[in-house]
Amino acid sequence: MMKGDEALDSNLLEDFWCWAVARYEDVQVREELLELQERSGLIILEAMFLAWLGDRGQAIRDADQQRIRAAITPWVEGVVLPLRRQRQAWTDMPSMITNRRHLLGLELKAERVLAELLFDALPMGEKLNDFPSPAVDRNLAQLPELKDVVTRGRLAGMLAR
């Protein structure tokens, strides 16, 4: 990758991160995403990445989603989920409040690395498939956890704002 591409990727990564954080701060969006994470194993940042791409008019193909999932699964299973499980295990333990805070910080850092892995999985310097209108729902339909049309449509509407 050339230096110019690295700067482009870095700016796009920061744009995505800011977009995702802003959406996640919306209580309704956060609750919907957390419910889907709990109920169906949704990887929140992956869904947000696909929605962000769709919001930019970039539609992904099945092969793109397979590449994304292959790139992020080891990190999610080996780092993100164990951190989350441990933090949740300490939820009702007042003596572990400081440790929970540390784990929350580690989780945030792990999510930032996950964002980088999402970007590394796709050629971000080129358009994937330009669509004249947002392709949020189309991209989210690539996720096996969002096959329910009603749920996906509700989430797409919240993320496309």
pTM for the whole structure? 0.88
Mean pLDDT of 91-97: 88
Total number of domains constituting the chain: 1
* Confidence category of residue 106, pLDDT binned at 50, 70, 90: very high
Give the model's pLDDT for residue 3: 40
Query: Residue 55 is part of which domain span?
Result: 3-159
CA gap 24, 12 in Å, rounded: 18
Average pLDDT on 7-24 reads: 87
Q: What does the block give as tokens for 138?
A: 């189309």
Taking every pair of Cα atoms in the chain, the longest distance, rounded to a whole number of angstroms, is 54
Q: Given this model, what pLDDT does residue 125 score?
A: 54
**Average pLDDT across the chain, whole number:** 89
Q: How far apart are CA 88 and CA 103, in angstroms?
A: 10
What was the pLDDT predicted at 120?
Answer: 93
Indicate if the pLDDT at residue 48 is higher than 90.
yes
- pLDDT one-digit tens code per residue, 59-76: 999 999 999 999 999 999
How far CA 149 is from CA of 2, 55, 94, 100, in Å, comes to: 41, 18, 41, 36
Provide the pLDDT for residue 1. 35
The CB density around residue 51, as the number of other CB atoms within 10 Å, is 24
Average pLDDT over residues 20-43: 96
**Residues above pLDDT 90, as percent of the chain:** 75
